[in-house]
Every structure is written in structure tokens, then in C-alpha cells.
Structure 1
Amino acid sequence: MSALRKWLLSGLLVIVPLVITLGVLNWIIGTLDQTLWLLPEQWQLWLSDHKVRGLGVLLTLAILLVVGATASNFVGKRLLGWGDAVVRRIPVVRSIYSSVKQVSDTLFSENGNAFRTAVLVQWPREGVWTIAFVTGAPGNEVAEHLGEGEFLSVYVPTTPNPTGGYFVMLKRSDCIELKMSVDEALKYIVSMGVVVPGGPATVAVKPSNP
């Protein structure tokens, strides 16, 4: 029975990651295939009849490359600036657009500082440590109420789903910057500490003093 249990667990460790990965890829491809409505109707009918999948990924990448190339030249920048100014004049829409644009600029800009540094912080109480990510620094009115000292805006993700978490502001002196990359830190969090950056760690337990 112990051998059967061991084989079952080994099989799960192999199959579960593959099934989840294939499921996520299938969802992504299916979602991107929705962009095929941009193609001529005859092409859409032909692709539907022949059940060709994955072209939505190529079409999406092509659109992103074209838009990125256009936005990188002088004329494209002028057009984007004009469009941005128009959108910001529309009530309600400008609030949503401004918030989303600010977040995307911070996350995807080459000069952004979000999720670029992994730190070690005490959370949710003193003496309990976890890994978090620096997203910036408090400013304006918030910084005025925090008092003396330099503070950092920190995102504390949950495990094993890092898309949920907590936004807190901590003193820089309370954050220990780690040498591991953001990718390594995310793997460490998602695996609940099983995948240790740099290889398996050996925990030495010191005997308590009598």
C-alpha cells in the first residue's frame, strides 16, 4: 500500500502541473482567438470550418507590434497624445482611463519601479516574516501623515495565489532588500516555500538553552 501511495503521489506531481499548464494555455489561446473577428468574413468562415486554432495569438502579437512601432515614431506619438487628450475630456471614462493608464505605465514602462525589487518584511505581525514587492513610495498627502523617516509602498502577496494580497506602507528600515529576482521570489511564494531560490535550503535548528 505504501508503494501504491507513493506512485499515486508521484503521478499527481507529474500530471497536475501539466494539466493546469495546458488548461491555462488553452484558455489564453481561446481568448486571443476572439480577435479573429478583425479578419474578413470569408477568412473567419474558412478558419471556423477547418477549426484552425492559435491564429488569434499571431494576430494579437501582430497588432501589438504594429501599434508599438507606430507609437514609437514622431507621428505616432503626436496621434497618441491627441487621442489621450480627447479621452481625458470624457466624464467617467477619464477616471477609469487615467487609473488604468497610470498602473500600466508603472508596471510595463522601462522606467517603472513596480515589482522590480523583492524584500523581506515582518507580516502580519512582528516576528513573522514573508516576501513582498516594492511598488513605489508614498507621496503627497499620504506622505505628510506618515511622519518622519523614509517609507516604501509594498505589496504583500498571498500564497499560492499572488494576484491577491495587501498594500501596505512600511519604513525602508523595516524592509530587507533581497538579492533574488522578482521571478524567483514569485516562484518561492507560489510554491509555498517548496521551490527555494538557489537550491534547497538546510534549516539548522539551534537547541534551546536550559
Structure 2
Amino acid sequence: MTHSSFAYETGKTRGPGNAHYESIEFLGDAVLGLLVAEMIFRSFPDYSEGEMSRLRASLVSARSLTEKAEKLDLGRHLRLGRGERASGGPSKHSILADAFEALLGAIYLDGGIRAARSFVRRQFGNAMVQSRPTIAQAGDYKTRLQEIVQAVGGPPPGYAVVSEEGPPHRKRFEVEVRLPGGGAFRAAGWSKKQAEQEAAKSALRSIGVEVDPPPAGG
């Protein structure tokens, strides 16, 4: 990836091999804003416009993009001018954040919106999981778990009754929920619905989501 400092230093700001990535960074910034907004809209439909805007700003902040660029080791792939490199360019937050946007722009140009969406989901999925740590209205753990899984591109969690105990008028059900990544969580309840909610609650806790106490009656 060619930084403008390298292009200007060599006197070649246009053409293959030497054109810098500022234009494609502009495109990547727009694509990132769209796809993150889409993820938020689909994952948190109950959020107000202001809440959505604040969450998007947090997810696409320079700090957030820098962290992702560092995990991808983008600094190692940058072509910088001698002066910029000597001043620590490969580790500068502004340069790394811009490089991340340029990378997304390139993915969009090469593979279209589907490839870009897949990349954004992989990069921001965990942050989305942590963005709403407490369920506002306690109890509907199944819906919350499904929102989180589908926000990162996974199929809905699957639930299955693994055992039933007790007389017909007082049965106790044990339910297992399976997540796309292979995790399985079990819980019991006095109805299938209650057991499913408790299993979903256990799954949420396993991925770091803080949950409220369940409502009376499950």
C-alpha cells in the first residue's frame, strides 16, 4: 500500500505501482460508514437515531480503526517516504486508520458490496456484541442472542429439548442451544419456553454479555 509521502517523494503520484491510496481511502470511508450503519440498524432496531449515531461514531473512530489495522499488521505493508518512515510512520494512528479504510475500499472494488460486508462483519462483530452489554428489558434472552449471532452473519441459534422429567402436570425440561461456532449451552425450566430463555441467557454470559435477572415466571 503506497502512502502519499512515497508517491510524492518519487515524483509519481499517478499510475500503477506508485499512485497512493488516498482516493481509495475516500471510497473505503464511505463504504465503512454505510455497512456499519446497516449492522447497527439491523441489530438494534429499538435504538434512537442519536444512539445509533453515537454507536457508529465509536465503532469507526480513529482509535478503533487503528486497533484493527494493527491486528492486520497493515503497517508492515505500507510504502512510506523516507522522512515519514523515519518519523515512525508505520505506527502512526492516523496513517494506520487511513490504511484500514483504503483496504476496505480495495475489497469493495475487487469483490463488491458482499465481500466488503463480510469483511466488516468479521472486523466489527465482536465490538457489536459488546456494544449493548445489558438487556434493557430483562427476560427476552432468545431474541438478544439471535440479534447478536445474525449481526455477525451467522444463522439463528438452534434449540432442542434434551430431557423431560416429572409428571405431566409438573414436567421439568432441559433445553440445549447450539451456536454457529459450535458452542452448546444447557439449562432447565418448568416449561420449554423458560428453559430456552435460560439456555440463551447462559450463552449470552459465555460471550461476555451482561444480563439482568430473569423476570418472575420466566
Per the normalisation by structure 2, the TM-score is: 0.30
- Identify the structure with the greater helix proportion: 2
Higher relative contact order (CA 8 A, sep 6+): 2
Indicate the structure (1 or 2) with the bigger Cα radius of gyration: 1
The two structures have a TM-score, normalised by structure 1, of 0.31
